[in-house]
Chain A
């Protein structure tokens, strides 16, 4: 899957690119408006990650250009403006989602994956991970063919892990993903602990052992192998 990252900050561009490549995406980058505009007119992408403030133009104009061409690409806006800012609320222009800087890379992976899934497969997409088979559009999880019944939060958490296989996820990142908002570090474990414990237990009951590893004091990781 092809992703275009439009970001003028070199440090962020490199790191995000690396993280996306690790997650299995083909990543192209643009550091400015002109370059990005050329790329979106020439090539097809599954998802465009768009920084709004570019040295030579407004990221929103790129968004308009994409919409004008009826591009199938999903758009995830990266912005330093928070939800209290009007511009973020003005994203009804057609962006699929937005992420406020600074963000968790694991959150970025999850959002990109969700956007591509929604945009391209129209429910025909499924996820396979070890013994798990997930139909995201039907909210259905099977372990070796047997259905796994999860609560909303447990399901969200599992999808978040599946979007970041093998990555170390901090408690804070998981808690913020589940609550959809910023979370104090002191509260993060309390916010996720019960859901995590139940998810693990349900997986184990179906024979899916050692899927979620604990890194004590740091966070969790979805193991790619036994």
Chain B
């Protein structure tokens, strides 16, 4: 329900309630006034008739019997409502009546007189008034609805424009929003606030991007120096016979490599998070070829650990538009994970279809929440050299392309499956 429908609904409810109340008051007030008037007239007539009776000349005969009803039997006195049958239209008609007693005169017994006034005009009047009011209400409500529909199109147009711009907004174009000044104050303020917000976003994004880029570049340089110097140190003749020193230097070298890899993984993750891979870098990638290349590279590792590999790919898969480096990283991390967390003599199954890539492997049972496997620095084995970023990278690449990635564990025999479903 949009805002206008909601407000219109309240307007209509209020209008209907007020109309009901006013109609009720009007009915009651009109009826009361008219009845009061009838009572007054009846009393006037009573005075007149009483005086006439007091003269002793007798009452003149009336044309309409119901207007002056005479009786010699006692009747209840005072003002009352009554209904009489209209013999012409054959319907009951409301009347107001006043009964009073005329004392006995010479030659005549006491008499009870009833004067009546028809209230049918009152009813008709009420009908007309209420009818006009109802018509007015309907016109008013239709008017409100029509006005709101028109306002929705016209007055809210700047808002719709802002909304469309926001939807289409892409931070990666490094451009702040340039929303126009709207004629309505509220919208103008909204646009101004959004413009400022997007300017801040662009500035923050830019500084983050620069930081990531600098970090990626500047940290690798000292690492390169350390690594090169350690490698040179390893060659010095003095170390050739000093096994302890040689081991120490090679450990240092090894740790430097590790640090460098860790740094590269983290840089990749933050570049993915900041969406710093422009879509223009994407090229049609044959995932099947990527999988085959990677497997060929890992073959010695599979052989050394006696792992059995089964690859199933659907024939004639269409290429996917991906960043080649990311596609490679995705496949590599999935395969690496399947090898690393396998058992000697275990199995790896890779299956690729047009809508998913699935890697499953045998391995020791794992405990814990599967969702947490994708967390950074999540290690199955604390002594492991791997920084535990592989699955996190997989998840980020999938998120980047809108793929879904799911982990599944089946016991007996323990089998871990990672499935990437292409969107």
Measured CB to CB, the residues of A under 8 A from B are 9, 11-12, 15-16, 18-19, 22, 53, 80-84, 86, 100-106, 153, 167-168, 170, 172, 179-182, 184-187, 190-195, 215, 217-219
**Is the CB–CB distance between B224 and A101 below 8 Å?**
yes
CA distance A184 to B265 in the complex (A): 13
Taking a contact as CB atoms under 8 Å apart, the answer to whether A168 and B325 are in contact is: no
Q: Does B297 have its Cβ within 8 Å of any Cβ on chain A? A: yes
A80 near B220 with CB under 8 A, answer: yes
30 A-B residue pairs with CB within 8 Å: A9-B221, A9-B224, A12-B221, A12-B228, A19-B231, A80-B220, A80-B221, A81-B217, A84-B271, A102-B220, A102-B223, A102-B260, A103-B227, A104-B231, A105-B228, A105-B232, A153-B300, A168-B235, A172-B257, A181-B297, A184-B340, A184-B385, A191-B301, A193-B304, A194-B303, A194-B304, A195-B300, A217-B247, A218-B247, A219-B250
> Are the CB atoms of A101 and B221 closer together than 8 Å?
yes
Q: Mark B232-269, 1 if CB is under 8 A from A, else 0.
A: 10110000000000110010011011101100100010
B258 and A215: CB pair below 8 A? no
B interface residues, how many (CB within 8 angstroms): 48
Query: B105: CB under 8 A from chain A?
Result: no
A-chain residues with CB within 8 Å of residue B340 when the two chains form the complex: 184
Interface residue ranges, B against A (CB under 8 Å): 216-218, 220-221, 223-229, 231-232, 234-235, 246-247, 250, 253-254, 256-258, 260-261, 264, 268, 271, 277, 281, 297, 300-301, 303-305, 323, 325-326, 329, 332, 336, 339-340, 384-386
- The 8 Å CB contact of B225, one of A15, A18, A81, A195, is A15
Contact of B250 among A12, A170, A187, A191 (CB under 8 A): A170
Are A106 and B224 in touch, CB under 8 angstroms?
no
Whether A106 and B231, one on each chain, are in contact in the complex, defined by CB atoms closer than 8 angstroms, is: yes
Task: List B contacts of A167 (CB < 8 A).
Answer: 235
Name, among A19, A83, A168, A191, the residue most crowded by chain B CB atoms within 10 Å (CB to CB): A168
Q: Flag if B325 contacts A83 (CB, 8 Å).
A: yes
Q: Is the Cβ of B228 less than 8 Å from the Cβ of A19? A: yes
Taking a contact as CB atoms under 8 Å apart, the answer to whether A11 and B384 are in contact is no
Most buried by B among A12, A53, A104, A184: A184
